[in-house]
Amino acid sequence: MTSRTVSVGNRRALRTLLSATAETVNAANAFRPLTRRGYPAIAVFAFGWPTAENVPLVVGGSALSALRHAVRGDYRSAGGRIALLLKVTSWLVLAVVHRRGVRSRPYFEDPLNEVLGPAFPSVPPRPGGVFATGQTRRRYVEKTVSYGPYRSNVADIWVRPDLPRDGKAPVLLQVPGGAWMIGMNRPQAYPLMSQLADHGWICVSIGYRISPKHAWPAHIVDVKRALAWVKDNIAEYGGDPNSVYITGGSAGGHLCSLAALTPNNPAYQPGFEDADTSVAGAVPIYGRYDWVTESYPDRREFGSVLERMIVKLPFTDNRQLYLDASPIAHVRPDAPPFFVLHGTHDTLIPVEEAREFVEALRAVSTAPVIYAEIPAAQHAFDIFGSARGHYTASAVERFLDWARATRPE
């Protein structure tokens, strides 16, 4: 055996060991976030979120990799055996992660049970996984329309092909997340919108102006503009303009909450001040509700992003602008019903922020405020066709059906 062969074998063994170590660290991060502080929390989310919600795919890929290494004989050395042990350990950890997700349904349903009662029973989750969810847009999107003057003012209309066009279908406006700087409405909320569309709802999934090109409040103005468009035009697709609800995740959770709590506010409706932008209910998911507080560990980083990229004005000289952008500052007695969802392992938006928002809204609102806190769920837990994604869809549909049925005429 030549020295070159030995050198190549050593390098390969080292790569195998490093790869297995990385998989184990990633599994541990999916089980419990490695950190929730500062900018490293973004990387923790980026790796932990898709792993936790797609465990079968991750383990399947890892198993195929292990088989290839075994065929090559990479596990014959001491380092190779350690690498194999690490891989197996990561699979066991991920099995626990997957089991937690599969068994999380009561955390979505129990808060609804306390308020809705037996008259509005649970909605069975749709079958299917990640790939089945990804095909739903082709099945349900009837048309992509422009709802405003800007290039980003586009909306996908999700509607079942055989839906009656009698103008009686309830409507859900979906506001995408993306830190106010991405705003891609695809593929966000596909499990939810496909389930609702299949059950007779019309869903309108919008894009909107984003930063840093556009400064705040362009984002909320576009959401309001979309609501105005829905009220004026959704009847031609079979929708009821008097039965419009709103949802969104992350930045979309912030925007949908703010829109629901500031109906017909002329400050956010320039040029269409007289348009009706009220909604009959709101479902913010892992949203941001406070742009002012300094109570959370990520406040400095979040505030810096707002000042440099989103608002583009210093906080110290423009505190009222930041306060006005905070849904928690607009809680009101006549707020529509709210269903707030958040995960305890969220590394991008602290779960404490959702708790404080719910507490503040419950203190003044005469309508129900339901809060589902999902143990061990990361940010964006509803996007994939995972167990949590389908549980979210079922719980949200149940809430919306109740809100629609009990809404005063």
* Of 219, 345, 379, 390, catalytic: 379
| 390 in Cβ contact with 193 (< 8 Å) | no
| 226 in Cβ contact with 155 (< 8 Å) | yes
Structure-token pair, residue 252 = 């979309």
The tens digit of pLDDT for each residue in 152-169 reads 999 999 999 999 999 899
Q: What pTM value is reported for the model?
A: 0.94
Structure-token pair, residue 403 = 């809100």
The tens digit of pLDDT for each residue in 370-397 reads 999 999 999 999 998 899 999 999 999 9
Q: How far apart are CA 163 and CA 199, in angstroms?
A: 9
| 250: annotated active-site residue | yes
* Of 250, 257, 365, 394, catalytic: 250
Please, what's the largest Cα pairwise distance for the chain? Answer: 86
Per-residue pLDDT band at 1 (split at 50, 70, 90):
very low
Answer whether residue 13 shows pLDDT above 90: no
The tens digit of pLDDT for each residue in 182-192 reads 977 888 999 99
φ, ψ at 355 (rounded to 5°): -60, -45
Please confirm whether the linkage preceding 314 is cis (ω < 30° from 0).
no
Q: What pLDDT does 133 receive?
A: 61
Answer whether residue 31 shows pLDDT above 90: yes
Q: Could you tell me the end-to-end alpha-carbon distance of the chain, in angstroms, rounded to an integer?
A: 86
Q: What pLDDT does 9 receive?
A: 55
**What percentage of the chain has pLDDT greater than the value 90?**
81
Alpha carbons within 13 A on the beta-carbon side of 23: 28
| 346: annotated active-site residue | yes
Q: What pLDDT does 137 receive?
A: 78
| 399 in Cβ contact with 281 (< 8 Å) | yes
Rounded to a whole number of angstroms, the CA Rg of the chain reads 23
SS3 (DSSP) at 116: helix
Using the 8-state DSSP alphabet, how is residue 154 labeled? E
Mean pLDDT across the chain: 92
DSSP per residue, 243-312 = EEEEEEETHHHHHHHHHHHSTT-GGG-TT-TTS----S-EEEES----SS---STTHHHHHHHIIIIIS-
| 290: annotated active-site residue | no
Q: Residue 190, Cβ neighbours under 10 Å: how many?
A: 27
User: What is the crossing angle of helices 55-72 and 40-53, to 10°?
Assistant: 90
Answer whether residue 147 shows pLDDT above 90: yes
169-175/338-343 β-pairing: unpaired
Q: How far apart are CA 356 and CA 340, in angstroms?
A: 11
Q: Which residue in this structure is represented by tokens 């892992």? A: 286
- Which of 81, 286, 306, 264 shows the shortest CA–CA distance to 180? 306
